[in-house]
Structure 1
Amino acid sequence: MLRSGQAMNTDLPVLKVPEPKKKSNKKLITIIVILFIALLIIVFFNSSLSKITEIQVTGAQFTSNAEIINDADLKVGDSFLFSSSKKIKESLLRNSSIQNVDVSKKFPGIVKINVQEYKVVAFELSENGDLIALLASGASVVTNSERMQIMDKPILTGWQSDDMNKKELMKQLSTIDNALLSDLSEISPIPSSAFPDRILIFTRTKFEVITAISLLREKVGTMNGVIESQAPGRLTLLLADTFVPFDIEAEEDESGNE
């Protein structure tokens, strides 16, 4: 017990004054950063850096650059970032002259389109005298004769424009080695009841070959072997294969006329 007049001595703990929270400052900084980023995005998408500034097309021989750009649904000024390479490729592959497409983008603003067209397997002349290149896909395109090496491909004569056998022939010709294909000079239809797709082929090495489009891939090896090893003559490659040199035919004709 305390005596009267004695002061009470009590030690009280010192209370720490809490430091002011910096949460409000952090929020402000975050808001400023977000606004700055948003401003940069707005400025970027409204600048030329976000637009297509150049479209480069390479590899096309039959399709004009303007046609390719139109088919790709592209134009200078379109969004660079949102131009899908996949969609561009899909659009261009709808063109029957184009076999493959490679699309690449180079920042800032350059779109590169490299086109691989189907190879030329033959030619024909239109009624107007225009030279038409026939492609492996079955497509036909008017071309400039000065840009094409006509002598290394056959000329198709006597075909109707809507003849489905002609399109199949073009596909079959695409499977023939270029060395043999370059020896074929002219191909004409000579249909028969047994072979509606029968054809007559003249070669630059003076052979005449009778075969069918449906048999061409199967018989091309025999054709090549005879052309390389025999004197010029008439070669029939249907159900049975026969070959008669022209000099023997001439002797038979002379003996028959005597």
Structure 2
Amino acid sequence: MQEKIPVLREPVRKRRGGKKLLAVLLLLFIVILCVLFFNSSISKISSVSVEGQKYTLATDIRKAAGIAVGDAFFGTTASTIQARVKTLKPIEKVDVIKSFPGKVRIVVEEYQTVAFELSDQGALTAILSNGSSVPTGADTIVDKPILSGWKADDPVKAQLCKELASIPPQSLSDFSEIIPAPSMAYPDRIKIYTRTRFEVITAASLLPQKISALNAVIETQEPGLITMLLADTYVPFAPDAGENKDNGKKETTQ
């Protein structure tokens, strides 16, 4: 008796056209969503806030940042904005925080104020640790020394500002005025007048290392002339120095 051989069925071929169509539709859907997103208000900058500035105008910082309300939120990176704002001379540090949707926060830190100066027009300007000058407000408290007789492009002035930044603020509070007094031996020699009626002759490059000894003399001695260069000397003013202090001065040869 012969057995019947079962008929083998051909496997059903899966239709690939359906998957391809689904992929195309999905891609088209994603493209439409992207177009709608980037053309909607949710993808735009809705606010730009500036914090931390004292002398620099917020409008100048926004202008330097190169962004404004209505610009594309993802059009500019935070690092790019930081680099732009740092081109402003008073700005030392910048932190940019982007919060979706639409908020950009720019937090700046200006260089330290180390002194003040009167402009040619008689306006008070603040001198920062990097040597740049910025206008101050009318209500500014002058708690730093006044720089007098300095040229704007004097390299010693820039060096002095850098050195003043390394000195604790409480040590600068007694400094009333600083003027240039260059000599052959010390091109960066300076003269400091204090609020406690001392005169100090030193060099800008030596000031940070001499400040401790200077404070010790001021705290323990009567007003006089202090010289702190190669050697440190102290000469008290004559008893009538309050009326005519120049009579008690002793010029240094250093």
TM-score by length of 2: 0.89
What SS is found at the alignment partner of 2:206? Answer: helix
* Aligned match of 1:116: 109
* Alpha-carbon offset, residue 20 of structure 1: 5.4
Q: 1:239 corresponds to which letter in structure 2? A: L
Counterparts of residues 104-253 of structure 1 (less than 5 Å): 104-146=97-139, 148-150=140-142, 152-247=143-238
Q: Percent identity?
A: 48
Q: 5+ unaligned residues in a row in structure 1: which ranges? A: 1-7
* Distance in structure 2 (CA, Å) of the matches to 1:242 and 1:137: 31
* Distance in structure 2 (CA, Å) of the matches to 1:107 and 1:75: 15
Q: 2:128 corresponds to which letter in structure 1? A: L
Counterparts of residues 54-93 of structure 1 (less than 5 Å): 54-93=47-86
* Aligned match of 2:252: none
Superposed CA RMSD: 2.0
1:15 aligns with 2:8: yes
String of CA shifts for 1:57-96, please: whole Å, max 9, x gaps. Answer: 1011111111111112212222211311111111222222
Q: 1:45 aligns with which of 32, 38, 52?
A: 38
* Equivalent pairs, count: 243
Q: 1:39 corresponds to which letter in structure 2? A: I
* Distance in structure 2 (CA, Å) of the matches to 1:204 and 1:149: 15
* Alpha-carbon offset, residue 248 of structure 1: 6.5
* Aligned match of 1:4: none
* Distance in structure 2 (CA, Å) of the matches to 1:36 and 1:75: 31
String of CA shifts for 1:152-189, please: whole Å, max 9, x gaps. Answer: 10111122222221111111111111111111011111
Larger-gyration structure (1/2): 1
* Alpha-carbon offset, residue 229 of structure 1: 2.0
* Distance in structure 2 (CA, Å) of the matches to 1:70 and 1:82: 16
